[in-house]
Copies of this chain bind each other. A is one copy, B any other.
Amino acid sequence: MNIELHLKIQNLNARYAQAIDDNRLEAWPDFFTENGRYRVTTAENVERSLPLGMIYATSRAMLRDRVRSLRDANVYEAQRYRHVIGPALIEATEEGGTVAAQTSFIIARIMHTGETTLFATGRYQDRIVFDDGGARFAEKTVILDSRLIDTLLALPL
């Protein structure tokens, strides 16, 4: 068991969640590689092998565009997220050192009024690369347990 690898992934996940929960959305694309993929889908779609998700981006530039749209729409100001993330399960180490890992999450949503609800649950299916700049997501698939899609889902999960 590679202790340091586990801790590095845990640290990446914690910093990722913290950036979103702190409303530092501009930092969000930097958690991905330049050609990093970000996809949001549901467990139901995954089981039916439906490749389509609700959200799909294939580069850091697309993620930056997304953040700009969110800021223009000002949707984030009305709410906060709070992620709680479980330990990562390392599934495979690919050639070149890319690691496939899976992590459970629960996200609470806190509205501007203070109302708090259990917003989303699911798991991250990630491919992580390590280089001089640290750990980054080459791929992050957010697999939601529920198929109820909130219209505010546009925010990073």
Closest to A89 in B: B14
Q: How many copies does the complex hold?
A: 3
Q: Smallest Cβ distance from A10 to chain B, in angstroms?
A: 5
A122 / chain B contacts, CB cutoff of 8 Å: 82
Q: Smallest Cβ distance from A59 to chain B, in angstroms?
A: 27
A1 / chain B contacts, CB cutoff of 8 Å: 4, 7-8, 11
Q: Is A92 an interface residue (CB 8 A)?
A: no
Supposing A7-B1, A7-B3, A104-B82 touch, asked if A117 and B114 sit within 8 A by C-beta, the answer is no
Query: What does the 1/0 interface line of A1-45 toward B look like (CB < 8 Å)?
Result: 101101110110111011001000000000000000000000100
Closest to A10 in B: B87
Q: Is A62 an interface residue (CB 8 A)?
A: no
- Taken together as a complex, chains A and B put the C-alpha atoms of A7 and B89 apart, in Å, by 11
Given contacts A3-B3, A3-B7, A116-B145, 18 further A-B pairs with CB under 8 A are: A1-B7, A3-B4, A6-B7, A10-B87, A13-B87, A14-B86, A18-B123, A21-B104, A21-B123, A82-B121, A83-B86, A84-B86, A84-B105, A85-B86, A106-B106, A110-B146, A113-B148, A116-B121
Q: What are 6 A-B contacts with C-beta separation under 8 Å?
A: A3-B3, A18-B89, A82-B104, A83-B86, A85-B86, A114-B146
